[in-house]
Amino acid sequence: MNLDISNISKTYANGVQALNDINLQIPPGMYGLLGPNGAGKSTLMRILATLQEPDHGSVRLGDIDVLKQKDEVRKTIGYLPQEFGVYPKAKAIDLLDHFALLKGFTRRTERKQVVEALLRQTNLWEVRQQKLGGFSGGMKQRFGVAVALLGNPRLMIVDEPTAGLDPAERVRFLNLLSELGEQSVVILSTHIVEDVSELCTRMAIIDKGSILLEAEPLRAMRDLRGRIWKRIIPKEALPEIERMYAVISTKLLAGRTVVQVYSEVPPGADFEPVEPNLEDVYFSTMAGHIGKGPKRASREVKP
């Protein structure tokens, strides 16, 4: 069962074009939607979650018309937005039981089994009697996943899930998402390149409402071999390097500047080749050297 997105566009009343003719075919498994803040990711996620209408276009989830059959979609979708509220004084097990009741699990015995299974799956069983106000950021995210998983959704939408998580919580959360991708379509919307690199078998890069690249991460990295070069320079030499070469990223290393450039031929004896990673694919795409992006340099440093 694929998710087919065709010609989706959205312009807000203030004139901002959030999406411009988006076309994607998303197969089952983990799919990464990668782009900077303000790229249009959250707008697309809200449209897929039936929370917002596009100006035009169509979306199909298997045989379901997402834009016209909203009630059918909501029966089979799980949505974890970037920000969601919880009742801080409610216990995890009680609130999840309440959401399960709203989802249609009216039989008490069945509902109890479902709630216990989800709390165990999200590694929250041991803290089920704790109030949500005392949960860490990662625990709240995992509780959000438990709510989103009610009813065994065929489509999971996860918007910026690891922002603000500490490294240990991030690993636990990504492991959980990886398990979910074995059973349904899971869209991971994020600006963190590493999340996509670790989880997703396919991805798209979006910026200013347009898809710049759609690819398999491993293949995109292989296709970039022989085109990424690095050089360590004094900080004061950076402006000259930027005038001479297509700089895609810079970072500090022991007080000196490591500059990486895109070039299809060796840029000079002082540069050494780099084995590309997904961060290089992202920066090269954003700079317009691969994909459909405009030709522009990027000084952005990956957070």
For 199-223, what is each residue's pLDDT tens digit? 899 999 999 999 999 999 999 999 9
Q: Are residues 207 and 228 in the same domain?
A: no
pLDDT at 301 over 60: no
Does position 266 have pLDDT exceeding 80, yes or no? yes
CATH number, domain at 78? 3.40.50.300
Q: Rounded to two decimals, what is the model's pTM?
A: 0.85
In a domain, 202, yes or no: yes
The one-letter code for the residue type at 213 is: L
Residues 175 and 153 in one domain: yes
pLDDT at 293: 52
Asked if the model's pLDDT at residue 96 lies above 90, the reply is yes
Strand partners, 214: 204
**Region 90-107 average pLDDT:** 93
Q: Is residue 167 part of a domain?
A: yes
Q: 230-254 burial string, b = 16+ CB within 10 Å, else e?
A: bbebeeeeeeebeeebbbbbbeeee
> Are 143 and 55 found together in one domain?
yes
What domain range includes position 16? 3-215
- Asked if 49 and 152 sit in the same domain, the reply is yes
Residue type, 294: P
Question: Per-residue pLDDT tens for 147-188?
Answer: 988 988 889 998 887 777 788 878 877 887 787 777 789 999
- Positive or negative, the CA dihedral 77, 146, 30, 8 is positive
Rg (CA), the chain: 22
193, 245: one domain? no
Same domain, 30 and 57: yes
Question: What total number of domains does the chain contain?
Answer: 2
Is residue 294 pLDDT above 80, yes or no? no
Is 158 among the domain residues? yes
- Is residue 204 situated within a structural domain? yes
Are 190 and 227 in a shared domain?
no
Residue at 12 is within a domain: yes
If one counts every other C-beta atom within 10 angstroms of the C-beta of residue 33, the result is 27
Q: Which of 6-10, 33-37, 138-142, 271-275 has the lowest mean pLDDT?
A: 138-142
pLDDT at 295 over 60: no
The SS3 of residue 181 is: coil
Domain identity same for 208 and 230 = no
Q: What is the pLDDT of residue 16?
A: 93
Sheet of strand 77-80, all strands in order from the earlier edge strand to the far edge: 77-80, 155-159, 185-190, 29-34, 202-207, 210-215
- The rounded percent of the chain whose pLDDT value lies above 90 is 62
pLDDT of residue 74: 87
| 134 contacts 89 by C-beta, under 8 angstroms | no
